[in-house]
Amino acid sequence: MRIVRTIADLRAALSPHRGETIGFVPTMGALHEGHLSLLRTARSENATVVLSIFVNPTQFGEAADLAAYPRTEEADVALAAEAGTDLVFAPSPAEMYPAGFATSVSVAGAITGTLEGAVRGRSHFDGVATVVAKLLLAVQPDRAYFGAKDAQQVVVVRRMVSDLGIPVEIVARPTSRDDDGLARSSRNTRLSAEERDVAAVIPRALRAAQDAFASGIRDPHRLTTVVRDELAGAGLEPEYVEAVDADSLEPIATAETPALLALAVRVGEVRLIDNVVLGVDDLVPVTGSVS
């Protein structure tokens, strides 16, 4: 496995492999089982597997959040090699955004204005769309793999890729979950043991909404109230809990499938997000290979 730090070196390293399929997993590092399962899926579907590790400063609203984001490159590289990665692209911010950089890619409308966009501001998804566009153009993969935990990110990336006509297949994989159902996230490492126990209410709350949906409830407000009540029982007040159309992220009057129920909540200092597609996702722990 090779590590490269410049786009020029990345292109040179990939050049001999252009004739065969390239699978790409973009990450901000601090790899966990969710990332590894994306890498293993990419491994099973492509001749060459590329991982990027880049903590993208332009998608962080708060400097403190950026500073606190875990950086564990040495461990990441070892895990990536084990998962069958061929090439790691780990650029510096100056490589991605050299002096004079002035371009941004932006997705307008409900897709970026709701959920995370409403709380973190549209600039968050401008940062995401710009860096993903740049990474996709640098790697030029056949397939790029994303986790469904960041459901809105997947919708934004799909829209951007479709609108600009970037020739890549966007593959979304189910959210990887710990044994108690908590969605795996690099941010989980910042939870204390006590906070980690409290956080387990999040998948329970989503499962309660899924159960309510299964029992026939379709009113978005009643479904989100189920979630709020569960979270409140553990002393958590969410930043948002919303049920929206899973494709357009527009508000819905009734939760016919596919509807996405998504939330953000702070547990201590750590901001966590999770979601479920009503009537579809089973919220079971996902361990090991998912391919």
Q: Which residues are catalytic?
A: 35
- Residue 77 or 155: the one with the smaller Cβ distance to a second copy is 155
Tracing tokens 């919220």 back to the chain, one arrives at: 283
CA distances from 213 to 155, 174, 217, 241 (A): 23, 19, 5, 15
- Residue 58 or 225: the one with the smaller Cβ distance to a second copy is 58
- Residue 92 or 289: the one with the smaller Cβ distance to a second copy is 92
Distance in Å, CB of 241 to a second copy, minimum: 25
- SS3 category, 126: helix
Contacts of 194 (CB under 8 A, 6+ apart): none
Residue-by-residue DSSP string for 155-201: HHHHHHHHHHT---EEEEEPPPB-TT-PBP-GGGGGS-HHHHHHHTH
What letter represents residue 184's amino acid?
R
| C-beta of residue 243 within 8 angstroms of C-beta of residue 254 | no
Distance (Å, whole) CA 117 – CA 244: 14
Distance in Å, CB of 5 to a second copy, minimum: 15
**Residue 232, both tokens:** 């409140």
Give the containing element (helix H, strand E) for 68: helix 63-68
Distance in Å, CB of 104 to a second copy, minimum: 5
Distance in Å, CB of 129 to a second copy, minimum: 7
Tracing tokens 């708060």 back to the chain, one arrives at: 62
Q: Which residues bind a second copy (CB under 8 A)?
A: 7, 11, 100-109, 111, 129-130, 133-134, 137-138, 140, 159-160, 163-167, 248
Give the containing element (helix H, strand E) for 102: none
Beta strands in 163-289 (DSSP E): 169-173, 238-245, 259-267, 270-277
Distance in Å, CB of 15 to a second copy, minimum: 11
- Residue 30 or 105: the one with the smaller Cβ distance to a second copy is 105
- Residue 14 or 226: the one with the smaller Cβ distance to a second copy is 14
